[in-house]
Amino acid sequence: MPLRRNGRALKRWRYVGAFCDEAMVCVGLASVGPLTQGWWAFWDRDAGALREHTVFVRPARVVTLDPGTVRVRDGDLAIDLVIDEVDGVESVCPHGDEYVWTRKQAGVGVRGSVRLGTAETPIDGLAVVDDTAGYHARDTAWRWSAGVGRTEDGAPVGWNLVTGVNDPATASERSLWIAGEAREVGPVTFGDDLTWVRFAEGGELRFAAEAVRERHDELLVMRSDYVQPFGTFAGVLPGGMRLEHGLGVMELHSARW
């Protein structure tokens, strides 16, 4: 994909979120045209401590995101994860006069560790993976939720829900995985305070934030404002399936790029 198409810069990113009872981790690399940034966040649920860093200068020296692996080396922090990646759900959706491609995975296995100083936290849980590339409009805003968990009957689940981008009534990126099988869900509605998301088919997930990542960047030609809390989910999925245990993120993002 060229760096520009009809006057729009190419935006692309890879995001991995890993969730287990002990900790939640997210790692990402994103580019707008030739400019790239990386980031990581580690929410230690047992200690009640959040560590995070966004890297603007040579981020690939800090964050490495290869298929199936995550590696971060940043000061006294080291993240090493192995992800059981699958084909995922791909979609190509219009965005104004242009388009966005994305591939989502959720509920895939993840294992590894986060080392902070001399302390090491094992990671053994489920992950979400977001690969996106497209020619988004100059001003773009969305609400997003990605999470993992299990139903009352013990089936592993994952979800990817969005409004504002890649969200036509059909052939969207909205997906629900039950025991590894993916299906599209209908349009969703988010609460303004990011405490719930409702499904057109019926059902609602309620969200309780535990820690919040938030950044407001004003750069020379770009602006990015986002809020992304880590937390827990409870409620009912489409089809009447009750979520017994859920972990993940909500996000509110507004960008001028």
Question: What confidence tens digit (pLDDT) does each residue in 171-212 have?
Answer: 999 999 999 999 999 999 999 999 999 999 999 999 999 999
Q: Report the pLDDT averaged over residues 99-123.
A: 98
Short-list 143, 138, 131, CA closest to 98 = 138
What pairing do the DSSP bridges indicate for beta strands 8-9 and 49-55? unpaired
Predicted pLDDT at 246: 98
The dihedral sign for the CA sequence 236, 237, 243, 245: negative
Residue 244 has pLDDT above 80, yes or no: yes
Predicted pLDDT at 220: 67
- Asked if residues 207 and 232 have their Cβ atoms less than 8 Å apart, the reply is yes
Backbone φ and ψ for 240, nearest 5 degrees, come out as 85, 10
Residue 252 has pLDDT above 80, yes or no: yes
pLDDT above 90: percentage of residues in the chain: 95
Residue 221 has pLDDT above 90, yes or no: no
Query: In what helix (H) or strand (E) does residue 146 lie, and over which residues does it extend?
Result: strand 139-151
For tokens 């972990």, the residue is 247
Residue 16 has pLDDT above 80, yes or no: yes
What radius of gyration, in Å, describes the C-alpha atoms of the chain?
A: 17
pLDDT band at 218 (very low <50, low <70, confident <90, very high): confident
Tokens read off for 174: 């909205």
For tokens 């190419």, the residue is 10
Question: What confidence tens digit (pLDDT) does each residue in 129-140 have?
Answer: 999 999 999 999
Residue 145 has pLDDT above 70, yes or no: yes
Burial 78-100 (b: 16+ CB within 10 A, else e): ebebebebeebbebebeeeeeeb
Q: What is the mean pLDDT of the chain?
A: 96
Asked whether the whole model's pTM tops 0.85, one would answer yes
Residue 241 has pLDDT above 70, yes or no: yes
Predicted pLDDT at 222: 82
Within 13 A of 155's CA, how many CA atoms are on the CB side?
14
Cβ neighbours around 73 below 10 Å, total: 13
Backbone φ and ψ for 232, nearest 5 degrees, come out as -115, 155
Q: Report the pLDDT averaged over residues 13-17.
A: 98
Instruction: Name the burial class of residue 227, with classes exposed (0-12), middle (13-18) and buried (19+) by CB atoms within 10 angstroms of its CB.
Output: middle
Q: How far apart are the first and last CA of the chain?
A: 17
Predicted pLDDT at 219: 76
Residue 42 has pLDDT above 90, yes or no: yes
- Asked if residues 124 and 111 have their Cβ atoms less than 8 Å apart, the reply is yes
Which residues are within 8 A (CB) of 113 and not within 5 positions of it... i.e. 6 or more apart? Answer: 79, 80, 120, 121, 122, 123
pLDDT band at 217 (very low <50, low <70, confident <90, very high): confident
Q: What angle do CA 93, 94, 100 make, to 5 degrees?
A: 60
